[in-house]
Amino acid sequence: MSKHQELLDYIDDLEVGKKVSVRGLANRLKVSDGTAYRAIKEAQSRGLVSINDRSGTTRIATTEQRVIETLTFGEIAKVASAEVLAGEKGLSQSFSNFAIAAMTKENIRKYLSHDGLVIVGDRTNIQLLALHERNAVLITGGVDVEEAVLDYANAHDIPVLRTDYDTFTVASRINRALSNELIKKEITTVADVYQSHAPTLFEISTVKDYLDLVKKTNESRFAVINQHKLVVGVVSMRDVTGKKNSTTIDKVMTRNPKLAKFEMTVASTSQKMIFDGYDIMPVVNSDSTYAGIISKSDMLRSMQESAEQSQFSHTLTDNVARTIREVQSYYTFTVEPFMMNNVGNIANGMMTEIISNISGLVMTKTKNKNIIIESMTIYFMGAVAIDDELEVYPKIISETRLGATIDFEVYLDYQIISKVLVTVQIN
């Protein structure tokens, strides 16, 4: 059994009302704070614990564990702008799938599953059938509902919802909400990739201690902590070069570094590191004590793995990536409706996304390197329309070990319509 599952089992066995904390779990089961934190967040998503800023984390009672990919009927009511007609006690129940009742009673039966959701109009027989199969009912079109339906729903705590929207609109909204939940699950946070056992130095450590640690670990950047395990700085080889071995670290370290927390996303953390020129960032617990570090290479490796392993393609970036095709020495894509702005031209942000994607393809193809976009300048010289096929010609005009500058020319029917200059950092 993994440590993560062991922690979840431990939380599941706690009495209702029992307090739980990251530090307490870590100490009791001999795991890192990051592992304990991930287990608590998973327990929260399953409905095992409640996290409150004032009262802390508490074990709560639940009738059924909630899976992160699902939504509750109460949340569906919000998504569909629906009123609750009956079965209010069942609103906290989660559902796994929904069906549209656009067929006969005999045929719809095979699409019904326990704790599902049926979207239906004014067909009372289908509404009752869904309730008998323990399915919540979402009635579209704002039609009236018979008392027999409401009475059965209240007696069995099965939600009956009603919305003024049509079936297509409601189904689209629910599908979008489920997609958003899947995207949230795929977002990588600092807690997923940080180094929990990274070595540290103290304020009173010396340059000699630093050099000894470099030899021992083959690393050159470390967090500096005080006697209370609070991060007070970071130190690198550049800071100690030319200093005497007896010099204490607090005399040479970089003070007040930016700190990362477990819940921060890898994407936002990488932007902070690029902006400030950091190669590592200390990670702290909720009480601000030292937990580990996250490095630029950790983040880039995580981004690459997420791109390779993701099973869901619902984001704008995924949609853009699917439109790009490589043709010999250039790339081409067709302008689709979702790329346009309100004046009928390709949106600035969409062009940025396309060029960012192609920049990654170019550097991966030539150097097999991961990149982070540092700056991008776009010049538009012409307009495009839906279904136009654009050709993008990239050219690396300068490259060093740490970065590169790429020039892009975008053509439509042999006429240049945009030029782009991109600067990237290479890992």
- CATH number for 326: 3.10.129.10
Q: How confident is the model at residue 44 (pLDDT cuts 50, 70, 90)?
A: confident
Mean pLDDT of 244-261: 91
Same domain, 179 and 132: yes
Structure tokens, 163: 């919305």
Residue 367 predicted with pLDDT over 70 = no
Same domain, 377 and 403: yes
Sheet holding 260-261, edge to edge: 260-261, 280-284, 290-295
Residue 202 predicted with pLDDT over 60 = yes
Lowest-confidence segment of 301-315, 322-336, 355-369 by average pLDDT: 301-315
Asked, for residue 133, whether it belongs to a domain, the answer is yes
Q: Across all residues in the chain, what is the average pLDDT?
A: 83
Mean pLDDT of 291-306: 75
Mean pLDDT of 160-181: 80
- CATH number for 237: 3.10.580.10
Helix axis angle, 348-367 to 316-323, nearest 10°:
60
Residue 16 predicted with pLDDT over 60 = yes
Residue 309 predicted with pLDDT over 60 = no
Contact 101, 123 (CB under 8 A): yes
Residue 280 predicted with pLDDT over 80 = yes
Task: Give residue 67's pLDDT.
Answer: 37
Task: Give residue 266's pLDDT.
Answer: 80
Same domain, 227 and 152: no
Considering only residues 73 and 427, tell me which one the structure prediction assigns the higher pLDDT.
73
For residue 14, give the 3-state DSSP assignment.
coil
Same domain, 195 and 173: no
Considering only residues 298 and 156, tell me which one the structure prediction assigns the higher pLDDT.
156
Q: How many domains is the chain built from?
A: 4
Task: Give residue 338's pLDDT.
Answer: 86
- CATH number for 172: 3.40.1390.20
Task: Give residue 369's pLDDT.
Answer: 65
Residue 297 predicted with pLDDT over 60 = yes
Residue 54 predicted with pLDDT over 70 = no
Q: How confident is the model at residue 208 (pLDDT cuts 50, 70, 90)?
A: very high
CA-based nearest residue to 55, from 26, 20, 86, 16:
20
Task: Give residue 332's pLDDT.
Answer: 95
Considering only residues 48 and 204, tell me which one the structure prediction assigns the higher pLDDT.
204
Same domain, 331 and 358: yes
When computed from its CA atoms, the radius of gyration of the chain, rounded to whole angstroms, is 28
Contact 163, 140 (CB under 8 A): yes
Q: How confident is the model at residue 330 (pLDDT cuts 50, 70, 90)?
A: very high
Same domain, 336 and 420: yes
pTM of this structure:
0.43
CA-based nearest residue to 65, from 39, 38, 45:
45
Considering only residues 318 and 69, tell me which one the structure prediction assigns the higher pLDDT.
318
Q: How confident is the model at residue 96 (pLDDT cuts 50, 70, 90)?
A: low
Residue 215 predicted with pLDDT over 70 = yes
Same domain, 322 and 418: yes
φ/ψ of 409, rounded to 5, equals: -125, 130
Asked, for residue 311, whether it belongs to a domain, the answer is no
Mean pLDDT of 366-388: 84
Asked, for residue 130, whether it belongs to a domain, the answer is yes
Q: How confident is the model at residue 203 (pLDDT cuts 50, 70, 90)?
A: very high
Which residue has tokens 């009752």?
Answer: 128
Range of the domain at 128: 73-185
Same domain, 128 and 102: yes
Residue 197 predicted with pLDDT over 80 = no
Contact 351, 417 (CB under 8 A): no
Asked, for residue 64, whether it belongs to a domain, the answer is no
Task: Give residue 365's pLDDT.
Answer: 77
Same domain, 166 and 248: no
Residue 66 predicted with pLDDT over 70 = no
Q: 167, 185, 203 — which closes off a domain?
A: 185
Asked, for residue 66, whether it belongs to a domain, the answer is no
Asked, for residue 310, whether it belongs to a domain, the answer is no
Asked, for residue 24, whether it belongs to a domain, the answer is yes
Same domain, 86 and 177: yes
Mean pLDDT of 293-314: 64
Task: Give residue 222's pLDDT.
Answer: 94
Same domain, 80 and 16: no
Residue 117 predicted with pLDDT over 70 = yes
Mean pLDDT of 289-317: 69
**Number of CB atoms found within 10 A of residue 220's CB:** 16
Beta-strand relationship, 254-255 and 231-235: antiparallel
Q: 304, 329, 360 — which closes off a domain?
A: 304
Which residue has tokens 């309100």?
Answer: 342
Same domain, 211 and 268: yes
Task: Give residue 409's pLDDT.
Answer: 96
Q: 162, 185, 208 — which closes off a domain?
A: 185
Query: Rounded to an integer, what distance in angstroms lies between the CA atom of residue 26 and that of residue 35?
Result: 8
Task: Give residue 352's pLDDT.
Answer: 93
Q: How confident is the model at residue 324 (pLDDT cuts 50, 70, 90)?
A: very high
- CATH number for 16: 1.10.10.10
Q: How confident is the model at residue 181 (pLDDT cuts 50, 70, 90)?
A: low
